[in-house]
Chains A and B, each alone.
Chain A
Amino acid sequence: MEARVKQERLFDEDVYTVHPDDYRALCERLKAEGYDFPRAISGLDMGYGLRVTLHLTRMSDLAKVTVRTDVPYENPVVASVTDLWPGVEWYEREAYDMLGLRFRGHPDLRRILLEDEWELHPLQKRYDTGGYPLPDWQPAAWPDPEPWAPPPPPEPEEAGEAGEGGEAS
């Protein structure tokens, strides 16, 4: 696992960049290390894929960490950490709503800000401000060698599970 985690120091935070498969394991480790206050989950569209950024604080000594993981557009599935920190529940729903990130194991992954009928994930860079697709938008190449090579294409049963939440359009 260690080979697939990059740790750096950014201002006053420890930043971990991690392979999506190891994201959940790293979060469990951080939870065991006492990071108990979930600040937020931010979803980002990196141009080559989607990024989940989890911000945590440890209340006892006020240490802050940020965990990042990148997933490809075709299979934007990340493990949910709602059971570790219930406070990220709405943030994960928001990231799903705004960017189409799908959190495996989330208890109630519905749209939160937009209505259920919408198919748009408006914060993706492929749309302009009004929600119209940009005609000449192309995904960028996955950066090499960092952060990681894109994870393998979705397993059939994983795709079925993810399909419940609606496809990214």
Chain B
Amino acid sequence: MSTMNLEPVPGRTDEMIVNMGPQHPATHGVLRVVLGLEGERITRAVPHIGYLHRNHEKIEEARTYPMVIAYTDRMDYVSGTQNELPFVLAVEDMLGVEVPDRAKKIRTIFFELYRLASHLVWMGTAMLDLGAISPFLYTFWDREIILGIVEKTAGARMLPNYYTFGGVRRDVHPDFFKDVADFLDHMERRMVDYEHLVLESPVVHARTKGVGVLDQERAVARGVSGPVLRASGVAYDVRKAFPYDAYPDVEFEIPTSPDGDTYARFWVRFQEMYQSIRILRQLLELTPKTGPYKGRAPARLKPPAGERYRAVENSRGELGVLVVSDGSDKPYRVKHRGAAFSNLQIIPDLFVGAKFSDAIAILSSLDPVFGEIDR
């Protein structure tokens, strides 16, 4: 096809040009990569995105502020409410809305629950890519439990549209805290199994150790964030760097690994799941069972003219949003900074020189989600 954007080198007959995607079971969506292959080794890689471009940013300009929240949900669709938070925080900053303490804590509980859900999806699909089917069956079972908890309170499973300016839309279900505590007990037992299934699996070791090494300087300059950046040894986490919501009140660590390879990225995600459990345990202690769940936000949402960039640490990294207001009830411009978008830029760096089957492992360690990359 003319849109391969990878022309054969004249006189070079040992290179084969292969198209991978957009329908490929291991691309986690609709990524297309055009690869130059020399035997099994990748010589060139050109990623193509945009197969899920759904004019998020244009359509958000034509929607009022509360309506935009529903759209942000659909960006990183694996991690639900996490996407709503940067937009909500930015508009709250512009409006000067006070958020009650309890609402902040509830938001953070949901945030961390979705981090667990997202990492579980990652674990299942990454192991599918590596050829193991059973982890998928376990992780999706656990994810269903999280979604059940969310559904009881928010009314929807995946895209709950639950946060709002000044807090959350409705109070949590009476069973909520007990459900979460039960789930954490279950999850702690399950983590032992997952360590056996994934981190200690000799197949995973063989396929990920020393594969796709990303060094620290390149990672920072490339704008990579989240677990991918921390696996390269940079302890940058928006939760600690620019704390938001209830994160100043809880204790947790930022797991980092100096290796920068695919295994390190797997390992860092695992450690993050432990930290999420730890954060959730503390929040269950700290959150009052009853109290206000929503602050006073003006009924007619018209933030004063100006702009605000806010970021949160979602499951994939720094998810930011730049909201520009012109004083009307619709945002003038909403620009999303996608964590997976930035992370995916390193594909050519990591793919070139790797074996073709390693490319699959590298891609699954980046954990792309195309709703947010293509927007």
Contacts and interface: CB of A to CB of B under 8 A. Distances in A.
Report A-B touching, CB under 8 Å. Answer: yes
Interface of A: 10-13, 36-40, 42-45, 53, 55, 59, 62, 66, 85-90, 98, 110-116, 122-123, 129
B17 interface: no
The 10 closest A-B pairs by CB, nearest first: A87-B223, A113-B50, A42-B335, A40-B337, A113-B53, A87-B222, A38-B223, A42-B322, A62-B241, A129-B62
* A10, A39, A111: most-surrounded residue (chain B CB, <10 A): A39
A66 B335 CA distance: 14
Contacts of B307: 10
Contacts of A62: 241-242
B49 A112 contact: yes
B315 to A, nearest CB: 18
B224 interface: yes
Interface of B: 3, 5, 49-50, 53, 55, 57-59, 61-62, 93, 218, 220-224, 234, 236, 241-242, 306-309, 311, 318, 320, 322, 324, 333, 335, 337, 341-342, 344-345, 374-375
B220 A37 contact: yes
27 contacts: A11-B308, A13-B309, A37-B220, A37-B236, A38-B221, A39-B318, A40-B335, A40-B342, A43-B335, A44-B324, A44-B335, A55-B309, A66-B309, A86-B222, A86-B345, A87-B222, A87-B223, A87-B345, A88-B223, A89-B345, A90-B345, A112-B50, A113-B375, A114-B50, A115-B3, A122-B55, A129-B62
A90 B375 CA distance: 14
Contacts of A12: 242
* A37, A45, A86, A88: most-surrounded residue (chain B CB, <10 A): A37
A59 B234 contact: yes
Nearest to A88: B223
Contact of B333 (A37, A40, A44): A44
A44 B234 CA distance: 31
Nearest to B2: A116
Contacts of A115: 3, 50
Contacts of A113: 49-50, 53, 374-375
Contact of B236 (A59, A86, A112, A114): A59
A31 B330 CA distance: 35
Contact of B337 (A39, A66, A116): A39
B57 A53 contact: no
A11 B93 contact: yes
Contacts of A110: 5
Could you tell me the dominant secondary structure of chain B's interface residues?
mixed
Contacts of B61: 129
A55 B90 CA distance: 15
A114 B53 contact: yes
B341 A90 contact: yes
Contact of B322 (A55, A85, A88, A116): A55
Given A10-B307, A110-B5, 7 more contacts: A37-B223, A39-B311, A86-B221, A87-B221, A87-B342, A89-B345, A90-B341
A39 B308 contact: no
Contacts of B234: 59
B105 to A, nearest CB: 23
A53 B322 contact: yes
Contacts of B324: 44
A10 B58 CA distance: 25
B58 A122 contact: yes
B53 A40 contact: no
Nearest to A90: B345
* B3, B62, B311, B335: most-surrounded residue (chain A CB, <10 A): B335
A40 B62 CA distance: 23
A66 B320 CA distance: 14
A65 B50 CA distance: 29
A4 to B, nearest CB: 21
Contact of A129 (B5, B59, B93, B236): B59
Contacts of B308: 10-11
Contacts of B57: 98, 123
Contact of A55 (B55, B320, B345): B320
A123 B336 CA distance: 13
A75 B365 CA distance: 41
A10 B344 CA distance: 30
Contacts of B335: 40, 42-44, 53
A168 to B, nearest CB: 16
Contacts of B93: 11
* A42, A44, A62, A111: most-surrounded residue (chain B CB, <10 A): A42
A36 B229 CA distance: 13
Contacts of A114: 50, 53
